[in-house]
Amino acid sequence: MTGEVLHLRRVGVRRGGADLLREVTWTVNENERWVIVGPNGAGKTTLLQIAGALLHPTSGSVAILGEELGRTDVFELRPRIGIASAAVAEKVPAGETVIDLVLTASYAILGRWQEEYDSLDLGRAVELLEALGCAHLIRRRFDTLSEGERKRVQIARALMPDPELLLLDEPAAGLDLGGREDLVARLARLADDPAAPTMVMVTHHVEEVPDGFTHALLLRGGQAIAQGKVDEVFTAERLSECFGLRLGVERQDGRWYARAVR
C-alpha cells in the first residue's frame, strides 16, 4: 500500500516571534514507521502536534489521512489518530482507572461519564492492555502507576480506537533500563505487525528506536535537516550535524547506538 498518511508542504509554525518550525516538507506513506529525532527544543513535539491535528501551521499546508487542515472538521479527523504523549497524560482526571482510561478512547474523551461500552469494547481494551503487559493493572488508578506502567497504558489507549495513524511522543522518557528495553521490544513487535497503524515516534535517543522502524527525520532548530530511510539518515555525519557534536554511530541486532567521539 502506498497511500499518503501525512503530507506537509513548507510548514512553518511561529509563536511569540520565534520560528518553532521552518519550511518543513515531509511525506509519510501508509505502513511506514517513522522516528523523529533531534535535540531539546528542535520542534519535535510541535511537529507531532501538527501531525495529530492539534495545531495549525502558521504557513504552508498539511494533509492528514487525505484531509487538508483548515478545510476539514478536526473533530472528525482526530479519532482516526492515536496519540500517546505527556500532554495527554497530564489531562487524565484524578482517580481515573486504567480500564476507563483505555475505554474512553473509543469516544476520544478523557474521563468516564455515563457512556455505555459493550463487551466488544471491553474485550478490545483488555486485549490491548494484555499485549502491553498491563493486564494486572486494569482496576488500578492511573495516577498511582509508575512512569513505565503509565507509558504502556497510554499506548494501549492510543491503539483503542484502531487508529490509522499512531503518534508516540517520547514513549521511553523517564523509564529505567529494564522499562526502556521492555517498551522498545513491544514497539518492535508492533512495528512488525502488518495490521498495526502507520507510526511516528519522537525521541532524543537513537538507542530508543525499535527494530522495524523504517524511516527517520532529523530536526534541528525547527528545520528538517535530513529525512528518508533510517539507515541512510542515521549516519555519523548527519546525526553529528543534528546534535551539534561529533558522534560515532553503530547498528547492532537492529538497534542503534550513538556516542560522542574526540
Ligand X SMILES: Nc1ncnc2c1ncn2[C@@H]1O[C@H](COP(=O)(O)OP(=O)(O)OP(=O)(O)O)[C@@H](O)[C@H]1O
Give the interface with ligand X as residue ranges (CB under 6 A).
15-16, 18, 20, 38, 40-46, 204
Nearer to ligand X, 46 or 106 (CB): 46
Helix (H, G, I), strand (E, B) or coil at 14: strand
- What's the closest the beta carbon of residue 19 comes to ligand X, in angstroms? 9
C-alpha cell at 72: 476539514
- What's the closest the beta carbon of residue 39 comes to ligand X, in angstroms? 7
- What's the closest the beta carbon of residue 12 comes to ligand X, in angstroms? 12
Nearer to ligand X, 12 or 41 (CB): 41
Nearer to ligand X, 40 or 252 (CB): 40
Nearer to ligand X, 8 or 20 (CB): 20
Cα gap 132→153, rounded to integer Å = 7
- What's the closest the beta carbon of residue 203 comes to ligand X, in angstroms? 9
CB 44, CB 202: distance < 8 Å: yes
Report the candidate in 53, 50, 51, 12 with the shortest Cα–Cα distance to residue 32: 51
- What's the closest the beta carbon of residue 116 comes to ligand X, in angstroms? 38
Nearer to ligand X, 15 or 56 (CB): 15
CA 189 to the chain's CA centroid: 15
User: SS3 letters for 191-228?
Assistant: HHCCCCCEEEEEECCHHHCCCCCCEEEEEECCEEEEEE
